[in-house]
Amino acid sequence: MENINIKSQHGHLFTCNKCNKFHFEFNQIAIDFSSVKALENFQNYLIEINGEEFELLNIDTFYNRKIHIPFPNTAIKMVLSQNDLKELKVLVTNFINHYKRAQEDTRMLKNLSIISEKQLN
């Protein structure tokens, strides 16, 4: 797995060659994703979140951050502000873009290596 390490003000997303997972941390939350597909599913979920709508929905709650992202089958949720949500979306999108570019570069290098080897033989 190609080493990718993307940081934002409050977040960090990186690949791990030891366990072949994608490690994500944002503020005090850490999540391990087992595949880029799982990370893309998370990205798609984030893209669908309308922060303004969530803030209006939760305006009367005592939470400081009004955007809530629940974790399935747990009582845990990530609470975000509008700025947090924007930063999170950018962090995940930048990481996925870097990862896909690195994967494509690796494929191209392998193809060039195969072509070069065939030409030498």
Backbone conformation region of residue 27, classed left if phi is above 0, alpha if psi is from -120 to 50, else beta = left
State which residues form the domain around 21.
Answer: 5-120
Is the per-residue pLDDT at 112 higher than 80? Answer: no
State pLDDT tens for residues 23-65: 999 999 999 999 999 999 999 999 999 999 999 999 999 999 9
Q: Average per-residue pLDDT in the chain? A: 92
Q: What is the pLDDT of residue 18?
A: 93
Q: Structural domain tally of the chain?
A: 1
- Is the CB of residue 43 less than 8 Å from the CB of residue 55? no
Question: Which residues have a Cβ under 8 Å from the Cβ of 34 and sit 6 or more positions away?
Answer: 21, 22
